[in-house]
Structure 1
Amino acid sequence: MTKSEVSQALQRIARGTGIVFIGTVISMFFGFLNRAIIARYFSTSEYGTFNLALTVLSVVLVIVTLGFQNSLPREIAFYKKRKPSRIKELISTAMIIVTLNSVVWMTILILGAEGISRIFNEDGLNLALKIMAFTLPFSALTTTVISVSHGFGRVREKVYFQNIAPPVAFLILILVGILMKFPFTYVFFAYVLSQTVTFLALSIDVRKVKLFEFRFLISLKIAKDLINFSIPLMLTGILGFIMNWTDTLMLGYYISSEVVGIYSAATPLARLITIVLASTSTIYTPIVTTLYAEEKTEAMRRVYQILTKWTFLITLPLFSAMLLFPETIISSLFGNRYVPAALALQILSLGFMFHTFLGLNGLSLIVIGDTNANLISNIFAAVFNIVLNIILIPVYGLDGAALATTISYFIVNILKSYWLYKKTGIHPFSRNYMKSLIISIVLLGLIKILYPKTGDILHVFFTLLLFMGSYFILILLSRSVDIEDIELMKTIEKKFHIPFLGKLLRLIERFVSFTN
């Protein structure tokens, strides 16, 4: 391994991550805007029904795509190295399988909608699912095409047609519905139309840029190999959704859709914490798969450590805001009706930050081809999640649901990190990363003691500014900067032309000298 190999890999990941991050932020912004408008314009019960329908649809979508969204980027990267002549067959086979599977599951969901609505004692869910089921073919094919583009190391399709187009189209349609004073049912039709328009636009764009040429060609051998590799990932995805959405579904079962609506103010906020980690995952797979194919495990380990440290540092301000000022964050975005979800937001933020703290452990297991380790880890976590929700929700309500989810996240990430270390020796705990972690814990503790009460949004902003300023100074004084950090910052400066970054780099280099 050479430092240049690690730096080159990190720089490529950083360039792709920056673009995906911007797209994801835009997606999150419009996604929150959509949710906030629905939450404010309609009742908490109707908002809860929409979230229940979306949850069911998301679980079915994982089954429809068969785990291809995770397996295709890895498989295409391998095929490029070893079987380049068969990439077209791989893509066509995957597209045909997903198309057929989506039609089957669309039919199943329409026929089973009434039974699902009875399970949750929510009459409105019946019609919602029957309408939203028609998004399955379009959403599944959009996901598959974007996964193919990931395998070629592209992020453009994800940003335009996953991050931006669907939420923007949905927002426009929702605003039209509100202006026209359409009933709540219109929201579900708007969602279907937004997904349909997105797929049509993506299809036109793929043809225009000649990303790949679709042929009605299916290879039974490729289909068998792809499905065998992907099925554990599909099951892992289903278990992941169970772990992510059991709290929402069980709150609807044990209490009411109104409580689901209140809880749904905390869950999307907490998931924002993984935004940077998710952005790095898009370009991480093809680049690290290449290192793995070339048997450069040491380079993989170093890339993993530096990348995990950066995602932790970038995510820290957002996590701090949710942990220290949950009432202010929720009331500013959703209104005072949703403030009862403040403690749930704090609890959930710990679980999602722990995932960020340990890095892309699950995706790295996919890279090395060990999909079963992911599956076993998710089975344990999902079982614990269901049991804990059954025990905690009747006693503690939405706070119990949040605690069950957080404990499950701790379990699944510990297991995945253990398997990854056992198989490859890869872990995130470099010396400088641990110093950064200790500094952050101490500073957060001090702020909580000095500023025990929440304030307005301006108070939150200045407190976080003080926190990050102190954090940066302590990082410099403790010499917690790696040479790869400097090289990454130089790449970001060149790519995005950030004016102050050059001066910041010179300041860091004055404080820190690299002797290794």
Structure 2
Amino acid sequence: FLYFYKTILGVFIILSISLLLALIFLFMIIIKKYKFLIKGKQEPVETKRLLVFSSFVFLSSLSAIIFANIDKLMLGYFIQAEFVGYYTAIFSIISGLLGLFSLSIVVFPVFTQIHGKRLKRAFKKTFHYLAILIFPITIGLAYLFIPIIRILYSGAYTPPEHNFTLTITSVFLSFLFLEGIITSLYIYLFNAREKPKIPAITMIITTILNVLFNYLLISYLIQFRPGYGLIGASLATFVSRYIYLGSLLILGKNKLNVAPNKNSIIKPLISSIIMLTFLFIFDYLVPLNIFYGIIMVVSAVLIYILIMFLIRGIKKEDFELLKLFK
């Protein structure tokens, strides 16, 4: 059994069994609590409308999968596998954090039911609360990423000879956290308004750009050092993703007349920059270890919150989340 478990086939079989059990469990919950989804009176469905919506969602999802993996595929083609491992280690942490903070799906049902001024207000409030969280996390992550990897992987993925390359790569990829959260908010907004075509077509275009940028930057930078291919891939992904986000921001304003408040961007950004300054000073004056690292992070969070209160980026009513969509 142990031999079987350690084989690749065994891993896939066990994973498949786990997913099957999860599916059965979810199906049982549906039968128990949501019987109307399976039994009861059938409601007429607009098949064409449903197919069009599903088709564009599928295209968007497929493009997103290609987008998320093309950089690693190209790195594997151009440079040694060890560099792909470094890149994947960084990217995995970002992906995990995105999954942990994917809160935008919560507002999807709300966006489907409200219109006009209420929709604008709900979007601005949602963006505001997300921005309060994601700006400092992104800035802090960009600064602390390499120490985090050293703690998680015991230095195996941060060799000293590649410190510069990994630092620059981690900075570019860290900003995908901010982009990913805001992008998902816009995607759910467009989908809720039954306009999945907009993010789908935009994603296809930016995926093509991403492939082009990755090829050009990786192939150019590896001429100097093989490890610089990581910088090329991360820069290409960074630029492509922010082109996608910028496009959604513009289209959201033009098609839905929805946009965030400028203060929801400016104030968290200012507070995050001040927090980053503190991190630089603390890191310069104090030799870091786990204990001092925890003190530094906690202090940075408190400084960020204090600055946000002082510049009125956070107000008392911001804590009344239950009134978010009233």
Please report the TM-score for the alignment, with normalisation by the length of structure 2. Answer: 0.83
Q: Cα distance, 1:317 vs. partner?
A: 4.9
Whether 1:263 and 2:82 are equivalent positions in the alignment is: no
Whether 1:303 and 2:128 are equivalent positions in the alignment is: no
Q: Hey, what does 1:389 align to over in structure 2?
A: 214
Q: Hey, what does 1:65 align to over in structure 2?
A: none
Q: In structure 2, what is the Cα distance between the partners aligned to 1:372 and 1:445?
A: 42
Q: Cα distance, 1:289 vs. partner?
A: 0.8
Q: Cα distance, 1:449 vs. partner?
A: 5.1
Q: Hey, what does 2:178 align to over in structure 1?
A: 353
Whether 1:330 and 2:149 are equivalent positions in the alignment is: yes
Q: In structure 1, what is the Cα distance between the partners aligned to 2:151 and 2:143?
A: 15
Q: In structure 2, what is the Cα distance between the partners aligned to 1:364 and 1:330?
A: 34
1:50-89 equivalences under 5 Å are none
1:263-302 equivalences under 5 Å are 263-275=87-99, 277-279=101-103, 281-292=104-115, 297-302=116-121
C-alpha distance 432-309 of structure 1, shift in aligned 2 (>3 A): closer
Identity, in percent, stands at 23
Whether 1:434 and 2:266 are equivalent positions in the alignment is: yes
Alignment check: 8 A CA contact 1:362 1:374 kept: yes
Q: Residue deviations 1:81-106, cap 9 Å, x none?
A: xxxxxxxxxxxxxxxxxxxxxxxxxx
Q: In structure 2, what is the Cα distance between the partners aligned to 1:213 and 1:181?
A: 38
Please report the TM-score for the alignment, with normalisation by the length of structure 1. Answer: 0.54
Q: Hey, what does 1:466 align to over in structure 2?
A: 299
Alignment check: 8 A CA contact 1:276 1:314 kept: no
Q: Hey, what does 1:131 align to over in structure 2?
A: none
Q: Hey, what does 1:160 align to over in structure 2?
A: none
C-alpha distance 286-252 of structure 1, shift in aligned 2 (>3 A): same
C-alpha distance 276-306 of structure 1, shift in aligned 2 (>3 A): farther
Q: In structure 1, what is the Cα distance between the partners aligned to 2:36 and 2:92?
A: 34
Q: Cα distance, 1:249 vs. partner?
A: 2.0
Q: Hey, what does 2:321 align to over in structure 1?
A: 488
C-alpha distance 236-358 of structure 1, shift in aligned 2 (>3 A): closer
Structure 2 residue ranges without an equivalent (≥5): 223-227
Q: Residue deviations 1:322-367, cap 9 Å, x none?
A: 2112221112112322125454222111132134357711211112
Q: Cα distance, 1:434 vs. partner?
A: 2.2
| Structure 1 residue identity aligned to 2:234 | A
Q: Cα distance, 1:222 vs. partner?
A: 3.5
Alignment check: 8 A CA contact 1:393 1:401 kept: yes
Q: Cα distance, 1:418 vs. partner?
A: 0.6
Matched residues, number: 310
Does 1 or 2 have the higher relative contact order (CA < 8 Å, sep 6+)? 2
C-alpha distance 490-210 of structure 1, shift in aligned 2 (>3 A): closer
| Structure 1 residue identity aligned to 2:156 | R
SS of equivalent residue, structure 1 residue 325: helix
Match for residue 214 of structure 1 among 26, 29, 38: 38
Alignment check: 8 A CA contact 1:301 1:426 kept: yes
Structure 1 residue ranges without an equivalent (≥5): 1-175, 492-516
> Displaced runs of 4+ in structure 1, greater than 4 A?
217-221
Q: In structure 2, what is the Cα distance between the partners aligned to 1:389 and 1:490?
A: 44
SS of equivalent residue, structure 2 residue 194: coil
Q: Residue deviations 1:279-331, cap 9 Å, x none?
A: 2x222111121003xxxx22222221222222222234543442112221112
Alignment check: 8 A CA contact 1:288 1:367 kept: yes
Q: In structure 1, what is the Cα distance between the partners aligned to 2:37 and 2:280?
A: 57
C-alpha distance 441-244 of structure 1, shift in aligned 2 (>3 A): same
Q: In structure 2, what is the Cα distance between the partners aligned to 1:265 and 1:418?
A: 33
| Structure 2 residue identity aligned to 1:298 | K
Q: Hey, what does 1:233 align to over in structure 2?
A: 57
Q: Cα distance, 1:221 vs. partner?
A: 6.5
Whether 1:203 and 2:27 are equivalent positions in the alignment is: yes
| Structure 2 residue identity aligned to 1:401 | A
C-alpha distance 211-321 of structure 1, shift in aligned 2 (>3 A): farther
Q: In structure 2, what is the Cα distance between the partners aligned to 1:397 and 1:343?
A: 11
Q: In structure 2, what is the Cα distance between the partners aligned to 1:454 and 1:305?
A: 41
RMSD: 3.1
Q: In structure 2, what is the Cα distance between the partners aligned to 1:258 and 1:190?
A: 28
Q: Hey, what does 2:225 align to over in structure 1?
A: none
SS of equivalent residue, structure 1 residue 451: helix
Q: In structure 2, what is the Cα distance between the partners aligned to 1:454 and 1:246?
A: 39
Q: In structure 2, what is the Cα distance between the partners aligned to 1:209 and 1:366?
A: 26
